[in-house]
Structure 1
Amino acid sequence: MFRTIFNTVVIAACFFILTALHAEAAGFKDVPKEHFAYDAVLWAQKYEIINGYSDGTFKPNEMITEQQFAKLLANYFELEIVEDELKKQTTTEIWSDEFYNSLASYGVPLNGYLHNSIRSQPVKRGVVAQAIAHLADAQQNLNSSIEFLLEHSISTGQNPKYENRDLQKFFGSTNNMTRAQVVTLLYRMDSMDFYYISDDAEAIHKNEDNNSLNERAIEAKKQLDASLQQNPSSSNLWNGNYRYVYQWGKGQYERNARYVTISSANSKDFYVRLSAYDGKYEGTTEGYAVITSAKKAIMQESIKGNRCIIEFEHLNNAIKVTEIDCSAERKNGTNFSGTLRKQ
């Protein structure tokens, strides 16, 4: 009798210890406790709103694409999976299709319903605001969506000099967002119990007018502010997320890596954000690269005004990056040359 009780206590204790160890080990190796989004990322992981990459990272500081945001949004609001499928102009099936199908059925304002190329581009803060406010509060335009987020301290402004002068510029509606920033925003939503779907969104989902999924998607995109609407073009071939990782050991710092996000491409230039990881050294550079030919571009300086020469060559589903001199911008990783695959 005593041995049975003793064994039960021991097993229970072991289970408690293992559970505690598992809880401590949860998370991602590139989101340390001192990271501003640490609690938000743990919360999102616990409720299966997010998942990371196969190497155990979350890449919190990478620009979030519209399709990544679409997945987070559908998971957060637990949107119903629909049987209908969008008839895309880009016919190739990709992993985000099921999320866009669901979001279209609720009339959520997004750009990438019919084009895979747009889905892979960084999502703008204004699009995030309109999509969330539509689902949570039935807001119909950009200004009211921003006001909803600001009034409830879900998000903040980025440009104080425009406060009380220009709401959209104050909020930074055309700026990109990182993965960590979006997760933090949803974390704040949850803390204030904003996880119910608005009546307007539910009515679109019930679809008493029998509109097709494509009709609802097209109407949803029209709700986006004109400053946020994106359409495919040949120059957008540059846009996207690219990565290169070389792991020479098992340790967290035993690797070389480059993560590049290209956005806002036009016929003359594009905006680039390059994150470099060389062992324990890391750094991020942002700036505009001038397109010099159909497949080549060069960045001469960072947005800080520092000399930073990086050459880019557009390849098939990849880019070649050659760092010539960024010593004024960061001391490490200025001699990298290699091919980054599009994600």
Structure 2
Amino acid sequence: MDDSQLLSAFQELAREQQPKVAPPRHRAIFDACHVGVVLRAVVFVEAVMAVGAMFGAESLVQWVQRTAVLSAAALPGALGWLVVTCSCKWLLARLPAMAQQGFGVALGTVCGLYGCGILALVTGPGQVSWVGSAFAGALLSSVMVAALVLRAKGRMPAETTARLAELQARIRPHFLFNSLNSAIALVREDPAKAETLLEDLSELFRHALVSKEESATLTEEVQVARHYLAIEQVRFGDRLRVEWSIDPRAGSARVPALFLQPLVENAVKHGVEPSPSGADVKVTTQRRGSVVVIKVTNTVPAGQGRRGHGVAQENVRDRLRLLHDVQAQFQTALIDGLYQVRMEVPA
């Protein structure tokens, strides 16, 4: 399937059995290890310094100069706070929530004093307030910790909703009945093929029902998509023409668990089902430097256009953003009878 035109258009719910008595389990309540978090933190600190520089500035030139001096003092401390909290993430996860927040604020206080030391070298010891700088660092770090905690809390219901939607998509009655009917029809005609279909169905349900972490490797997700398309291949026969272009170098990329199957399901539902002649479906993965590109492309019948409510795509888009923030890209395009979902994630 040639998707060169499309390329130009882009420029578990089941819980594991737990012991009756389990010790309390701590986890990291905030995570600063994201490029988007770093960018927002830097912009936030710069904005605060710019506003602070307005006090006492008698002209625009003086304001710019004061902003530059304050930024030079504050940014090293802010970046140091981000580096330390990111590096100690796994150690902080062992502490209670209050201790993690206290560590973040205490570290901010130290960074505020560090920035004050830099400022003292520029303006002189008598021109700085050590106590004020310490409290300013504590306040800024408190805001950062609160924002990151809210971000982490917002992630939990989104993950739960995503798992519910995906689980329902995988065990829809008509899909299950069609798969079982196909297996029954093959039992006498081709027992080996019926056995293979049931194995694919078993693997698909195992991935859908077994509780997973929030992310998986791309290799695992491609395997789930293969099981699904193998089942649908029995149902549609020659009407479903599948092509795989998988780059082994991209297999280690981290992606949301159970994110690829809904996209290939959409390709079958909107490409193959409504077309008497069927459709072509192509799944492509490719590593390009530090980025992995994932594409799901399918032909659509003439006049069909975009259909559906886009729930599955919104689900995948939200989960990609939660996992990789600004490093994730999600785009769709429909050009000349080819529909493509194109994603980018860090390698």
TM-score bucket (shorter structure): under 0.3
Which structure has greater strand proportion?
A: 1
Q: Which has the larger radius of gyration?
A: 2
TM-score computed with the length of structure 2 as normaliser: 0.22
Which structure has greater helix proportion?
A: 2
